[in-house]
Amino acid sequence: MLLTGGLKSLLPHVLRRIIRCNRLSISNTSGMAEGYKQANVVILHKSLADDFEKFCHANNGPLPLLYRSQPGDWKCPSLSSDSDIRTDCLQYRRYEHGACTGSLKSLKEYSEQLKDMVTFYLGCSFSFEKAVQKAGIPIRNVEQKCNVSMYKTSVPCYSVSMFHCNLVVTMRPIPESRLEAAVLATSELKEAHGAPIHIGDPGLLGIQDLSKPDYGDPVHLHPGDIPVFWACGVTGVEAVINCRTPLAFTHSPGCMFITDLKNDSVRSLGGVPQVHCISQDPLHFSIVSAEAAQKINTLETLIGIDPGERGIRHLQQQGELLGACLAMSHAGSVLITTGFPTHFTHEPPEENDGPPGALAIAAMLQALEKQVAIVTDQRAMDLNKKIIEEAVQLGILKKPIPLLSYQRESADSALLFLCENGNPGRPRFDHLIAIERAGMAADGNYYNARKVNIKHLVDPIDDLFLAAQTIPGVTTTGVGDGGNELGMGKVKDAVKKHIKNGDVIACDVEADFTVVAGVSNWGGYAIACALSVLRCCEIHDRYLRRALGFPRAPSKGLWQPALPSVTKEENLLKTLVQLGVRSGKTASLEMEVDGLPFYNTHSLMIEKLL
């Protein structure tokens, strides 16, 4: 028997010959024939072949089709010169009516049945291992001399006819400092599954225990390693099981067919990928193209000017807008709050900075088919209902948004509001956004910029942001322009040092992401624009859909109308004036926000962002 030493440098045709003679004492082909493509194998009756091919094309992340044979053809001339699929895998599995009924070293005894069967050769992640190692990244399962770990997920594939199953993934531990390098090394190897489909907590894929893989071997994570998941061709095995065909064969997971083809990079049209952490609990990273990230950072720079000369540049941190919008992009349900009753001697006391930005965010989230709700003060419910109705009439919103209020009735009120039956494992919302919302100071009061306590006008919606910190998977964003807004606790030290009255008015409640703008509405407009940038990013789209189904064509007709426009914002501001909602700085009922004229200031900012 031949042992593993030197197998990684043998040419594929030599390895196939050794495998054919049953002379290897190894359990998988990971690390063998470095730099050459390996393939998963599925062999089905010819009557199922067309539907299975469609299933592969519909899920080309896990099932990149390298070759489809003719019925009864045991060779694959475009992949190898001298192969015989009956003998050239280390081990096979036989399936009858969806049940695995045996492991086989050869399929020769089934030659008669194979005459009516079609072989599919599907790309394999073993093919990218050399590229990952070349980038200076360890392959832990190769180091540990074991098979890669493979897991069934709770993520459904795109179904075709009788072929349906959940995605199967491989997991490779990657040092956190090398995550971006690992994504870059694999993203262009489309026929070897391409870039990862998930980075971080396995629970987000429905994987409960990394030490118990469904296929392959457990792989030990080193300190500082992050679990990184790639789509896996064993997904095809699951599809075979579920279709319950009378007879089918596959490779045994990890025992691949080794081709004569060198790995070749396919230049991605989507650009160079970047990796960004969007949550610590559970740990979750997202992927976006460098071009999209740069556009969003430019939006952040645009809104960062300080027309009121408040000193907000000291509060700004680069990348907060990008992080916030990536978290929103992954969210399915978003809760928004706004409302700053700074004009306590007027009725209504609200200012007109906040609602327009909140509606701009809500409109884009609606267009992206996310669930959206708004929570506000009980005393302001009627006002906000009128604003939402007008926003629908003006074409800003596609449909009305549910309007909620929150009252603290017990210690569990916030959890009961945010989660089904108060269970942190079942949150109703994935992301919370506060935009120009009065935020609680360190002494428990709420202050306007002039240091006036307005606590009597503010419901304790801060509770929801504090509770969100204890709920795994719920992230938060605060948008503000002065440091006394909900969520600005993340930069409270800078507020106390650089903002007038900051030592008193600084909000003490943190958000995960803090978007600081010259005017808070601008922050809302920038979020809407940034979400549309992400919607157009092929790299981010593929990651969101786990490389399943088909790329979402940038059907701009569906979501571009949701972007803010000068006309929509002008009409909304006129509506707010009619409703008695005043400018923040001057309390005037004119076409201005925070004392700045709509025309030639706010209108110009909207045009720049667009």
* Mean pLDDT of each 10-residue bin along the chain, 610 residues long: 56 83 72 84 98 97 96 93 90 96 95 97 86 93 92 98 97 97 93 94 97 96 97 95 97 89 65 95 97 98 94 95 98 98 96 98 96 98 98 96 97 97 96 98 97 98 98 98 97 96 98 98 98 95 95 68 96 98 94 96 97
pLDDT at 551: 82
Residues 6+ apart with CB under 8 A from 77: none
Q: What is the DSSP string of 12-30?
A: HHHHHHHHHTT-B--S--T
The domains of the chain, with CATH numbers, are: 12-262 (3.30.2040.10), 273-582 (3.90.1640.20)
Q: What is the identity of the amino acid at 238? A: E
pLDDT at 3: 43
- Which residues are bridge partners to 447 per DSSP? 453
Please, what's the b/e burial string for 414-445 (b: 16 or more CB within 10 A of its CB; e: otherwise)?
bbebbbeeeeeeebebbbbbbbbbbbbbeeeb
Residues 6+ apart with CB under 8 A from 303: 515, 517, 518, 519, 522, 523, 525, 526, 605, 609
pLDDT at 508: 98
Q: Which two tokens stand for residue 505?
A: 């008015």
CB 357 within 8 A of CB 454: no
How would you classify the pairing of strands 273-280 and 371-376? unpaired
N-terminal to C-terminal alpha carbon distance within the chain: 67
What separation in angstroms does the CA of 463 have from each of 430, 509, 512? 16, 9, 15
Entry pTM: 0.93
- Rounded CA-CA distance 319/322 in Å is 5
Alpha helices per DSSP H over 439-490: 462-468
Please, what's the b/e burial string for 570-602 (b: 16 or more CB within 10 A of its CB; e: otherwise)?
bbbbebbbebebbbbbeeebebbbbbbebeebb
Residue 333: strand, helix, or coil: strand
Among 55, 158, 170, smallest CA distance to 552 is for: 158
**Cα–chain-centroid distance for residue 553?**
17
**CA Rg, the chain, in Å?**
28
